[in-house]
Amino acid sequence: MFELDYRSKKPLYEQIIEQIKLLVIKGHLSPGDAIPSVRKMAQTLDITPSTVAKAYQELERQKVIETIRAKGTFITTMPSVEPNVEELEKIRKRIQSEIIELKRTGHSEADVVNLVKEIYSSI
Amino acid sequence: MFELDYRSKKPLYEQIIEQIKLLVIKGHLSPGDAIPSVRKMAQTLDITPSTVAKAYQELERQKVIETIRAKGTFITTMPSVEPNVEELEKIRKRIQSEIIELKRTGHSEADVVNLVKEIYSSI
DNA sequence: TAACTGTACTATATAAAGCAATACAGGTAA
DNA sequence: TTACCTGTATTGCTTTATATAGTACAGTTA
Residue A78 CB coordination number (10 Å) = 8
Cα B110 from Cα B65, distance rounded (Å): 37
Q: Which residue in the set A25, A92, A122 is minimally distant from B119, CB to CB?
A: A92
| pLDDT score, position A120 | 97
pLDDT for A80: 59
pTM recorded for the entire structure: 0.90
- Print pLDDT tens along chain B (123 aa): 888 888 888 999 999 999 999 999 999 999 989 999 999 999 999 899 999 999 999 998 888 999 887 788 999 876 656 667 888 999 999 999 999 999 999 999 999 999 999 999 999
Which pLDDT score, from 0 to 100, does residue B77 have?
78
Q: What are phi and psi of B62, to 5 degrees?
A: -90, 5
What are the extents of the domains in chain B?
A: 12-75, 85-122
Q: Quickly list DSSP for A45-92.
A: HTS-HHHHHHHHHHHHHTTSEEEETTTEEEE-SS------HHHHHHHH
Q: What was the pLDDT predicted at A79?
A: 63
Contact across the interface for A119 and B95, Cβ inside 8 Å: yes
- Cβ–Cβ under 8 Å, residues B116 and A112: yes
Distance from CA(A70) to C1'(D27), angstroms, rounded: 6
CA angle A83, B114, A79 (to 5 degrees): 25
Asked if B90 is an interface residue toward chain A (Cβ–Cβ < 8 A), one would say no
**Nearest CB to B109 within list A101, A106, A117:** A117
Tell me whether residues A96 and B106 touch, CB distance under 8 A.
no
Block mean pLDDT (10 aa), chain A, length 123: 89 93 92 91 92 92 87 81 81 95 93 97 95
Distance (Å) of CA B19 to CA A64, A122, B2, B13, B24: 35, 32, 7, 10, 9
Per-residue confidence (pLDDT) for residue A7, from 0 to 100: 86
B48, B60, B78, B106 from B13: Cα distances, Å: 11, 13, 24, 34
CA of B86 to C1' of D20 (A): 31
Cβ of B70 less than 7 A from strand D: yes
Domain B12-75 is in which class? mainly alpha
